[in-house]
Amino acid sequence: MMRNMPARKAGGRRKRIVIRVMLGLVGILLIYTIYVGSTIWNYAQRTVNIPSDAAIVLGAAVWEGEPSPVFRGRIDHALWLYDRQYVDKLIFTGGRSSEEELAESEVARQYAIEHGVPERDILVETASTITEQNLHYANEIGDTAGLSSYLIVSDPLHMKRAMMMAEDMGLEANPSPASRSAYQSLRSKVPFLIREVFYHIGYQLAAPFR
């Protein structure tokens, strides 16, 4: 019986060490998550509206052939940039959620034309479904059209991740968050922030495999 005491004590010490290591890792992850959330929140306040070749408007949902409130906020901001001559062209992004519906970018084009933008100043891509694809295809379209500088338009809390992706692609771009974002209340912003923290960390973890 006495011979088993040292083994039990050693086993107890190992368990305590494992628990401490696990708690330490959880603490580090929590601190990092809070840090990422704070950088996303702070970056949302950053606006760099300088004259550029085009505004890249990141896609969002379409409801029965009309821009959703979220998408309308982004489009309206791009129209504001265009009207004040910050940009010469508008690039709308976003594909179809089903074969029967117009692509998000096509709905945005119709909306912009109805609000006085000449069709010649509008470019669209209809293949993307996620932010990274929005930027990738917009960049391809811009290259073909001879464009080289951009203002990225999306909701404020989306801007940190979007700009990180744009930088990784080598785009000459600056952030121009939608001032008329549908996400105005704290109640709507918090879920958006939590989702962005999750996507931001996922994008960073996937970086070595891209």
Helices (H), the chain: 4-43, 69-83, 104-114, 131-144, 159-168, 186-206
Q: Which two tokens mark 5?
A: 């005491």
Q: How far apart are CA 154 and CA 135, in angstroms?
A: 12
% of the chain exceeding 90 in pLDDT: 72
**68: phi then psi, degrees, rounded to nearest 5:** -65, 165
Structural domains of the chain, ranges and CATH numbers in brackets: 52-209 (3.40.50.620)
- Amino acid, single-letter form, for residue 135: L
Residue 5 has pLDDT above 90, yes or no: no
Q: Where is mean pLDDT largest: 25-39, 157-171, 182-196?
A: 157-171
Higher pLDDT, 205 or 135: 135
Average pLDDT, stretch 177-185? 88
Strand partners, 66: 63
Dist CA 24 CA 62 (whole Å): 44
Helices 159-168 and 186-206 cross at an angle (nearest 10°) of: 20
Q: Is the pLDDT of residue 209 over 90?
A: no
pTM of the model as a whole? 0.87
Mean pLDDT of 118-140: 96
> Which are the contacts of 47, defined by CB distance < 8 A and separation ≥ 6?
175, 176, 177
Helix (H, G, I), strand (E, B) or coil at 98: coil
At residue 7 the predicted structure's pLDDT band, cuts being 50, 70 and 90, is: low
Of 134, 162, 155, 152, nearest in space to 70 by CA: 155
- For 22-32, how does the pLDDT look when each residue is reduced to its tens digit (9 = 90+)? 877 888 888 98
CB crowding 92-117: b at 16 or more within 10 Å, else e: bbbbbeeeeebbbbbbbbbbbeeeeb
> What is the average per-residue pLDDT within 167-177?
96
Express each pLDDT in 93-119 by its tens digit.
999 877 768 999 999 999 999 999 999
Residue 88: is its pLDDT beyond 80?
yes
Is the pLDDT at 17 greater than 80? The verdict is: no
Give pLDDT, residue 98. 72
- What is the per-residue pLDDT for 20? 81
Identify the pLDDT of residue 101.
82
CA distance 55 to 87: 6
Instruction: Residue 132: name the closest of 152, 117, 147, 151 by CA.
Output: 152
Average pLDDT for 136-151: 97
pLDDT at 185: 87
Report whether pLDDT(6) > 80. Answer: no
Question: Is the Cα torsion angle 37, 104, 64, 69 positive or negative in sign?
Answer: positive
